[in-house]
With several copies, the nearest count.
Chain A
Amino acid sequence: MTKAAPEALTSRKLSVRIAGLTLHAPTMLAAGVVGITTHLLHRALDSGAGAVVTKSIGLQPRESYRNPTVVGVECGYLNAIGLGNPGVEAFSEQLKKLDRGLPIIMSLFGSGPDDFSRMIPILKNTPVKGFELNLSCPHVKGVGVEVGQDPEMVSKVVSLVKRGVKKPVFVKVSPNVDSVVEIAKAAESAGADGITAINTLRAMTIDIETKRPVLSNKFGGLSGSAIRPVAVRCVYEISTSVRIPVIGCGGVSKWSDAVEMLLAGASAVQVGTGLATQGYSVFSGINEGILRYLDEHGFESVEQIVGLSHSF
């Protein structure tokens, strides 16, 4: 925090503990959304995010797909950025320039246990608070959801990373599977410290004038308001099936969306597309709204409302 924070940012009521980490607020920046430079990560923290997740980083540098990589649809966005990233080595170097205390979580992807094993030596010295494994990208062949649909593969990757790094490991799951609960349970058994639900839904849009798929990659991931009911369902199902904390992600852009996620069982929420529609003020807006809700409903802390819908 570099600036004087408004009330919501400093209220103890908003503070949450997840997997051993203390966040001053339950609102996080989602993976892949602006988190590609230290400046941009820092700006999200300055804007009220309780933690930030980086862009997903792989073993090797990788260019994004040709544009169009993002396109608006009726109720959200499709993206097929293609996991462009500078590679784990370069990115870790960048992170070292930042203050060690910042609540930064590094997102990682890989095509299987091998990729992850080779990243581990570098990750050991990377000054982040934890890792999020992106086993759920719906538009890049051989990584992401193709890894994350297979409970055994999930289990292997998670145990491997857990053994290698001494920090909390979150597993980001996809709704593009037979059973998100089965995947979450596999991650839990393998030692994951938390589950992030959900990544985008595999989707597509076609321009009817030219008859072309709009995204250069044809397929992309659907994010935004459209997917919130799917995300809320996943959070509910997972949080009633595992003991580790769940971070809710998908279509959160207003405080009421965030409260819905918390009630569904999320210990914190991530914001992706909301950044496009609301700008950086999305974090403080949500934080302030949650605080108001807690006060109006007589709760002392945001942790008291996590999973309250389970009792019905």
Chain B
Amino acid sequence: MSGYPTHSDRPRIVKVEESRIETETARTIFFRDEASLKAKPGQFVMVWAMGADEMPMSLAAMNDKGRSAVTVKPWGPGSNLLCSLKSGDVIGVRGPYGNSFTPKKGSVLLVGGGSGVAPLIPLSQTLQEIGAKVTFVLAGKTSGDLMLLGEAKKIISKPPHNLIIVTDDGSAGVKGLAPDAVRSLLGKEVVDQIYSCGPEKMMRMVFDLAEEKRIPVEASLERPMECAIGLCGICAVGKYLLCRDGPILDSQQLKAVSKEFGSNRLDRAGRVVPV
């Protein structure tokens, strides 16, 4: 498509180059976008599913041989449409937006659930590159719900790195919830930093465990978003705008929003509702 100047906050139209099956319904969508190539692990883009919605999506890949990707779990009209797209269909992308994880050397623990695994994939790669010892807890309801497992296995391929699979029903890996796995891990090992993304209640439990041990956490939260540039306020978590100050909050910030974190959010009418 012929290049013409666009505003950085205007959707850029890109072709879906591949839609890879993650679970029965979830897909990882690959596309080519200059600006996404330069994103940092944890940043997100606004993905325009034309005719349906525009949604924030963490980048699951920034530069996989020149392609970027998002992993989408269908919930409503927008994400459903995205998951139904075929190669050659188009989407709009703007961003990348938001802050990014702070990669730390030492012994680090990544805890991802559902589509929350997405931003942890590029992060785990960076962490390995800078010499961290990476433990990755990858959780899903059942074995069929595990996302980006192939990518994770490729990256976390040999010791000292460690990939721990957790399912609610035990159909793959350890049976239980991700926080259970984290509790037992923290009992055995020294962890210098925790990174987490996934269902907010899961992250809250991980955070509370980490607080007991005074282990710093960076958690990537989700909120409805409209503008993604700090205008509409709908992404508020306490005094933070998740689109600009987040999506990643650190332990200090998480403490400051302790009342909201894992409990409630705004809906698209600005009403306070449970997360």
Contact = CB atoms under 8 A, between A and B. Distances in A.
Real complex partners, A and B?
yes
A141 interface: no
Contact of B233 (A35, A71, A207): A35
B226 A42 contact: no
- The listed residue with most A CB atoms (<10 A of its CB), out of B51, B232, B272, is B232
A70 B238 CA distance: 23
Contacts, number: 144
Contacts of B231: 33-34, 70, 77, 79, 272-273, 275-276
Interface residues of B, number: 45
A66 B53 contact: yes
A83 to B, nearest CB: 10
Given A34-B241, A67-B53, A69-B226, A210 B13 contact: yes
A39 B244 CA distance: 15
Given A43-B239, A209-B90, A85 B269 contact: yes
A37 B90 contact: no
A216 B226 CA distance: 12
A67 B77 CA distance: 11
A55 interface: yes
Contacts of A73: 7, 10
B2 A296 contact: yes
B236 interface: yes
Given A209-B90, A255-B4, A70 B226 contact: yes
Contact of A74 (B7, B54, B238): B7
Contact of A254 (B4, B51, B225, B269): B4
Per DSSP, chain A at the interface is loop
Contacts of B238: 39
Contacts of A37: 233, 236, 266, 270
B226 A292 contact: no
Contact of B230 (A36, A62, A90, A276): A276
A121 interface: no
Contacts of B48: 67-68
Given A34-B241, A73-B10, A209-B90, A62 B229 contact: no
B54 A67 contact: yes
A84 B270 contact: yes
B157 interface: no
Nearest to B241: A34
Nearest to B243: A276
- The listed residue with most B CB atoms (<10 A of its CB), out of A63, A71, A74, A212, is A71
B50 to A, nearest CB: 6
A72 B78 CA distance: 21
A72 B10 contact: yes
B55 A70 contact: no
Interface residues of A, number: 55
A33 B234 contact: no
A22 interface: no
Given A68-B48, A69-B226, A276-B231, A63 B11 contact: no
A61 interface: yes
B265 to A, nearest CB: 11
Given A74-B7, A207-B92, A276-B227, A212 B233 contact: no
Interface string B128-164: 0000000000000000000000000000000000000
B244 A279 contact: yes
Interface in A264-312: 272-273, 275-276, 279, 289, 292-293, 296, 312
Contacts of A207: 11, 13, 92
A86 B55 CA distance: 21
A289 B4 CA distance: 10
A81 interface: yes
A200 to B, nearest CB: 12
Nearest to B4: A256
Contact of B271 (A61, A67, A208, A289): A61
Given A36-B233, A69-B227, A77-B231, 15 more contacts: A34-B241, A35-B233, A40-B233, A40-B241, A42-B239, A55-B270, A63-B268, A64-B269, A69-B226, A70-B232, A73-B10, A79-B231, A86-B270, A210-B90, A272-B231
20 contacts: A35-B233, A36-B232, A37-B236, A42-B239, A63-B267, A66-B53, A67-B225, A67-B226, A69-B227, A69-B232, A71-B7, A71-B9, A77-B9, A84-B270, A86-B269, A207-B92, A216-B53, A254-B4, A256-B4, A279-B244
Interface of B: 1-2, 4-5, 7-11, 13, 46, 48, 50-55, 77-78, 90, 92, 94, 225-234, 236, 238-239, 241, 244, 266-272
